[in-house]
Amino acid sequence: MKPSVYDYVIVGSGIAGLYMALLAKEKGSVLIITKGSIEDCNTRHAQGGIAAAIGKNDNPDLHYKDTMAAGAGLNDPEAVRVLVEEGPQRIADLIDFGVPFDTADGQIALTKEAAHSVSRILHAGGDATGEHVEVTLSRRVRYSSSINVLEYCLATEVIVEKGKVKGVKTLDLRAGSVQEFECRWLVLATGGAGKLFKYTTNSEVATADGIVLAYKAGAEVTDMEFFQFHPTALRLPGVAPFLISEAVRGEGGVLRNVEGYRFMSDYTPKADLAPRDVVARSIVYEMRKTGSDRVFLDVTHLPAHVITTRFPHIYKFCMDHGLDITKGLISVAPAAHYIMGGIRTNVWGETSIKGLFAAGETACTGVHGANRLASNSLLETIVFGHRIVQRTQEKDNLNYKARREDDIRKSLATGKQTSKCTPLSLLALQSLMWEKVGIVRSGESLAEAGKMLAAWDAALPPTTDRPSYELNNLVLAAKLMTEAALAREESRGAHFRTDYPRTSSSWKRHIVFQKDATTPS
């Protein structure tokens, strides 16, 4: 059994958790808690790369403008400025740790992705950036004698006393035992919530654990209505959605409908390189128009060696399923990819609970606004992860404050169990969210989803193992997302409602959930 008292307890073993552990070990004792193996995370599935203003034709101001434009008016300007200005130095940290970024002519190779004005995406192994980052950092963590790692251990409760974190309660998934770990600083870095939806590029671990842990502990959760759907996931019968990186379109790939027509210019002047939310909705409309469940990504006009060397993992995966993408079209459709909302933090990763920090996809730093700019996610984890460790070394390590005074503050509604309720299962939940709270929403669909979720919430089974905890977490996260989407009567970024199709200046504000909030609206 591990010691029960640490300076730092970090929940999650993606890039955020591993990177912070490697920094924090120089400052105090460190424990990483992860519900699977240390390699089970979303980081290793990140293909495109990491965005940073390190190129000769780039600078932080350009990166700032691109990020703000993608965020549709809801980014936090201070957080974005921190991201773009501190990003290059954090890239240097990864290089020092040994991440093998691809090079060309002795320089780090940079590519372009949608909504970026210049080439600024670093990549490793072609389209295996996340895997190389994860393997590099996890190897260093495993070989470190000063970092304790507790695998197959599920965090079940954040322990708070008198407004300050005391520790975390856990369930050992192999022994079935319960243990509490005390700490000075608790960092939630559990990743996203893609398993809310029937089709997702996320791994099995993405069940909104950190968001729910923080919400139940009394921390603020915000922007839950903004969930990004990646436009291009492989759509083949019997094959789980597999991400086809946005960098494929950045290299010149084009979208065609089932009739072979290149359709994106019909929807936006930016065509295939429009922001993800625009491309995803355009694909949905095109599929409806043609009566198909897919469109096609065409790279056959590109030199074969470009495809096989720049995207070796995508090429091999498709070949393993009988498709040579240098000669044939790639069958794709949108899939749930990334949650912009989450645990509300300031620019130091602090939450509204003293001693509780959040980093990575589970956090809402304000960087992404209503729509994340491609490849900013991995950069966000290391920039704000670094700031979290830095903040813990200051005497007053709580300077949390709301970013806006006009926030809409809410607490979740409660529901009643009903005999008319569809039986709850993971697939039933995912299908409901995909159909009613997906890429294109309406007040009617959201209200229907809300009623079902309230009934399911009232009938949830007791939590005894990982599947039951994850199902409980997903239902609560689904409620947060659905209620936020129903409250936001406009369309902005990744949130699109057919009954409110335009963006409204009166909605340039954030919806904040907090358990037992005193001013619900």
Contact 229, 280 (CB under 8 A): yes
Cβ within 8 Å of residue 316, ≥6 positions away? none
Contact 18, 147 (CB under 8 A): no
Distance CA 381, CA 367 (A): 11
Contact 226, 360 (CB under 8 A): no
Task: Measure the CA dihedral 444/461/512/438, to 10°.
Answer: -40
Query: Residue 453: which H helix or E strand, with range?
Result: helix 443-458
Residue burial 403-417, b: 16+ Cβ < 10 Å; e: rest: beeebbbbbbeebee
C-alpha distances in angstroms, 292 versus 1, 75, 315, 368, 519?
54, 35, 24, 32, 46
Distance CA 467, CA 20 (A): 28
Phi, psi of 302 (to 5 degrees): -90, 150
Quote the strand ranges of 340-431, DSSP E: 342-344, 356-358, 363-364, 408-410
- How many residues in total does the chain contain? 521
**98 dihedral zone (left: phi>0; alpha: psi -120 to 50; beta):** left
77 residue type, one letter: P
Contact 404, 446 (CB under 8 A): no
Per the annotation, the verdict on 262 as an active-site residue is no
For residue 439, give the 3-state DSSP assignment.
coil
Q: Which of these is catalytic: 276, 344, 488, 492?
A: 276
Distance CA 316, CA 87 (A): 32
Q: Which residues are catalytic?
A: 276
